[in-house]
Amino acid sequence: MITGPALLLALLEGTVGAAVLALTALGLSLVFGVMRVINIAHGEFVMLGAVVAWWCSADLLDAHPLLGFVVALAVAPLVVGAIAIAADWLVLRRIAYDPERTIVATMGLLYILQQGVLMGYGPDARPLDPPIYFRVQFPWFGYSGYKLIVAGLALLLLGATWLLLSRTRIGLYMRATRLDSETAQAFGVPVKRVYATVFALGAMLAALSGVLIAPIRGAHYLMGADPLLLSFIVVIVGGLGNLRGTLLAAACIGIGEGMISVLFSPTLSKIIATLLVAAVLVIRPGGLARSTAT
Amino acid sequence: MTGSATRVYALHLAVIVALFVIQFALPAYHYGNVTRIMLYAVFAIGYNILLGYTGLLSLGHALFFAAGAYGAGLTAHWWGFGPIAALSAGIGAALLVSLITGAIVYRTTGVAFLIVTLMLAQAAFLSTLYFNTITLGDQGIVLSLPPIALFGASLPLADPMVKYNVALVAFALALLLSLWLLRSPFGRVLIAVRENEARTRLLGYNTALYRFTALVISGTLSGLSGALYCLLFGYVGSSFASLQYSTLPLLWTLLGGSGVTLGPPLGAAITHYLIDISSSLTSSYMILVGVALVAITLWFPQGLAGWFRRWKRA
């Protein structure tokens, strides 16, 4: 029997999940929108973020979890962004961002990152202490205050990305490249550098969401699969490369996924979400193709 | 039959005969490896029909492999099907899943096609975990099957020689089927779809229907491989539906050379031995798969077959 309090708990969990998912999916959507690259390794960037968070808080700075968390928020995007720039420079640029070849290459990158972490970090799922511990007391249950902070931080980061895209010169370059890279190039936009920046930015957003969820879910070398699957779903349902659609879809799917996870089972919620994509395609067969063609 | 056709068939038959003959000389360790490689080769041939000849890149072929494996494994485990009935059930399951998948992805090509196949395979993988009362999830089902009763003879599946020759028969059938298919008018249209779909459509071919048929054949062959893998090694588990089993056929095909019938089996053989050697050195042996995929996209887009062709021309 589903009761009111259970529903409220599910709604809270869903909102937190949606906020983090929006961050991850925005990175994937940005990379696809600007570069026309499907990054299969996107989930691994989330995983790397979580692993860096673990490393900062448990290994490097064994002082207070909050200090490690703050350091990780700065270090993880830098490390992961650097890896992304290296991948762009060493691989993606050399195959001229050809859609199918980049998919094979990022598939390779997925295994290199995942197995590299397995080598260096080991197969264990390692828990992290939440940086802040307090409970928000509802009449029926207490809820982890850290989770609410996660949602807040994710929204803050989304806002910052939005400002970056709409108010800065580099944001303008990205939008111009997204619309028409050849014309942008003709107007003096350094398209190659924009590509590298966008790929890094996408990876950094993923890494940040990894840092945020690490204290909730721990850090494990296989944890990239779920964020990859869910952000793919969001990006497809929202329209490939459509940033507003991505955010809207992330909100709906994130909350729905979170609620079904709490009320029924996390695996079932992912199965339903995946089949939803199939349904979208059956109902609107041309929809996806149209949005990929442009 | 023209001269070149005879040569092509002779080459493929020679490979099959060679595989039959070396079983009397192979040491036990390699005997088992070659058995596995031949089953993987069936999977690779199935995958190549889609990627190599139709130009569709699927990231979800684990779906079909697992459909075959579970179709065979579940019926054998829960309903006590014998090996032949279970094999038929596996092939039937793979055919059904291919038809459904084909109906869903009917009109999608390129990037959309590979995302949808990836999603469907992930949904299947998660389902094998979710319905763990039936599939036993991660842990999987260990089968103990009665021997195959064929023409009055009783062939125990635990016998390495039975395994080897069953795998060889499947490999030979898949190889000759794909060869025949691709030299038939149907195969020619598939290649035309790969090269220029708009033009083929303009010539009056229903290209979506051709893609659909190629997907069904490809999926069913992959399912045959999965069903035999389950029956011969007596195990089926969630890992059969995992991303790894979607990545491997892609790697085999790209490594050996897509669009060449013997390329993917060769790719499967090389990959199997590389993984076998490296897995004794490190537990993160899949990193090799990652490095190989990146290296192929960078330096060998045509795979070994392309390299061989260039070498012959030089």
Query: Which range among B89-93, B117-121, B207-211 has the greatest average pLDDT?
Result: B89-93
How far, CA to CA in Å, does B115 sit from each of A91, A193, A278?
A: 21, 27, 10
The DSSP symbol for B242 reads: S
Is A184 within 8 Å of A53 (Cβ atoms)? no
Average pLDDT (B88-94) is 93
CB proximity A97 to B under 8 Å = no
> What is the interface pTM, i.e. ipTM, of the complex?
0.82
Q: How distant, in Å, are the alpha carbons of B63, B83, B84, B154, B236 from that of B147?
A: 28, 7, 10, 6, 18
3-state secondary structure B7-62: HHHHHHHHHHHHHHHHCCCCCHHHHHHHHHHHHHHHHHHHHHHHHHHHCCCCCCCH
Does A66 reach chain B within 8 Å, measured CB to CB? no
Q: Which residues of A touch B284 (CB under 8 A)?
A: 115-116, 118-119
Please state the domain count of chain B.
1
Smallest Cα distance from A23 to chain B, Å: 20
pLDDT of residue A210: 93
Structure tokens of B155?
């062939």
> Could you tell me the two tokens for A122?
């080991």
Give the angle subtended at the CA of A124 by the CAs of A219 and B119, to the nearest 5°.
60
Q: Is the separation of the CB atoms in B21 and B168 below 8 Å?
A: no
Contact B147, B156 (CB under 8 A): yes
Chain B positions with Cβ closer than 8 Å to A: 57, 59, 104-112, 114-116, 118-120, 122-123, 126-127, 129-130, 243, 247, 250, 254, 282-287, 289-298, 301
3-state helix, strand, coil in chain A (%, to 5): 80, 5, 20
Give the separation between CA A51 and CA A211, rounded to whole angstroms.
Answer: 8
Selecting from A115, A278, A286 the residue whose C-beta is nearest the C-beta of B290 gives A115
Instruction: Quick: pLDDT tens for B2-16.
Output: 567 788 888 888 888
Q: How far apart are CA A252 and CA A259, in angstroms?
A: 11
Instruction: Look at residue A224 and tell me whether its pLDDT is greater than 80.
Output: yes
Q: Give per-residue pLDDT as tens, B178-232.
A: 888 888 888 888 888 888 888 888 888 888 888 888 899 999 999 999 999 998 8
**What pLDDT score was predicted for residue A229?**
86
Size of interface A-B (CB pairs under 8 A): 131
Q: Count of H helices and E strands in chain B?
A: 14, 4
End-to-end CA gap in chain A: 47
Give the span between the Cα atoms of B37 and A287, in whole angstroms: 41
pLDDT digits (tens, 9 = 90+) for B130-177: 888 887 877 788 877 777 777 767 777 778 888 888 899 999 999 999
Report the gap between the CA of B290 and the closest CA in chain A (Å). 4
CA distance B7 to B156: 37
Select from B35, B10, B45 the least CA-distant residue to B261: B45
Do A151 and A11 touch, CB atoms closer than 8 A?
no
Q: CB–CB of A281 and B298 under 8 A? A: no
Task: Answer yes or no: pTM beyond 0.80.
Answer: yes
Phi, psi of B262 (to 5 degrees): -85, -10
Q: Which residue has the tokens 């179709």?
A: B71
Residues 216-235 of chain A with CB under 8 A from chain B are 225, 229, 232-233
| Beta strand extents in chain B (DSSP E only) | 141-142, 148-150, 153-155, 235-236
Model confidence over A195-209: pLDDT tens digits? 899 999 999 999 999
Cα A286 to its chain centre, rounded Å, is 27
Q: How far is A92 from chain B (nearest CA, A)?
A: 9
Nearest C-alpha in B relative to A102? B297
pLDDT in tens, A91-131: 888 888 888 788 889 999 999 999 999 988 888 888 887 77
Reply yes or no on whether the pLDDT at A294 is more than 80. Answer: no
- Asked if B243's CB is within 8 angstroms of A225's CB, the reply is yes
CB A207 within 8 A of CB A52: yes
Tell me the Cα Rg of chain A: 19
CB atoms < 10 A from the CB of B233, how many?
17
The answer to whether the Cβ–Cβ distance between B291 and A274 falls below 8 Å is no
Max distance between CA atoms of chain A, in angstroms, equals 62
pLDDT, one tens digit per residue, over A209-223 is 999 998 888 888 888
Q: Give the burial string for A47-61 (b: 16+ CB within 10 Å, else e).
A: bbbbbbbbbbbbeeb
Cα separation, B17 vs B10, whole angstroms: 10
Q: Look at residue A106 in the predicted model and tell me its pLDDT.
A: 92
DSSP A132: S
Residues of A whose CB is below 8 A from B296: 104
| Tokens standing for residue B267 | 């790719």
